[in-house]
Copies of this chain bind each other. A is one copy, B any other.
Amino acid sequence: MASRTAPDPARRSERAHSAVLAATTELVAEIGYGRLTIEAIAARAGVGKQTIYRWWPSKGAVVFDAFLAAGEHEGGIALPDTGDLAADLRAVLRPTSDELADPDTDRTYRAIMAEILNDPALQAEHRTRLLDPLLAVTRDRLRSAREAGQIAPDTDLDLAVEIVYGPLYYRWQYRLGPLTHEHADRLVDAALRALNPPSAGGGSCA
């Protein structure tokens, strides 16, 4: 898949590339991912099918690129370090919740998720460009909190991110309930309790 930020020098028509992504975004919104076809994308974009096959390996890859190009997903939601871990986690879980609650994003991300589940190549792309950056900044923030004594000193950061994000995605993917700020806040509280030193009282709130 061609990188958005470092276009393949062999690519001749930037116009074609962006037309494909735009057409894809429109079509996903109009007819949904399931009914989306490469032919329809090519027709809408005014592009030969071969041009799509030349630069993307699969329909899922096109949609994923379009998803990234459409939003500010890449590079990620900011995860600030204000010293207040709860506030900082809320600052990431609330917008994530909002995005997943948005019907357009919901539909698109479900489609991408479905492809990822069965397409290792696309999964790798997703890891590299979306998930790993998010997990990395989250681990960084938690490491900082661990050093500040706000969470248990033996906290496994990999496990910690699962505890932070897992419940939210679980609710989303099985549609167990609405994704609200209030719900996100309670997940943050629960996560902090899980990460806090189990006893010893308190935890040093900022």
In terms of DSSP, what is the predominant structure of the interface of chain A?
helix
Write the nearest CB–CB distance from A90 to chain B, whole angstroms: 9
From residue 138 to 156 of chain A, which have CB atoms closer than 8 A to chain B?
A: 156
Binds B, one of A1-9, A17-25, A40-48, A113-121: A113-121
Residues of B within 8 A of A111 (CB): 117-118
Complex CA gap A168/B174 in Å reads 14
Which of A113, A177, A202 gathers the greatest number of chain B CB atoms within 10 Å? Answer: A202
One of A64-72, A73-81, A94-102, A184-192 at the interface? A184-192
* Interface residues on chain A, size class: 35 or more
| A-B interface, 10 closest residue pairs, ranked by CB to CB distance from nearest | A202-B202, A166-B170, A166-B167, A205-B205, A166-B166, A194-B194, A162-B167, A114-B114, A190-B194, A200-B201
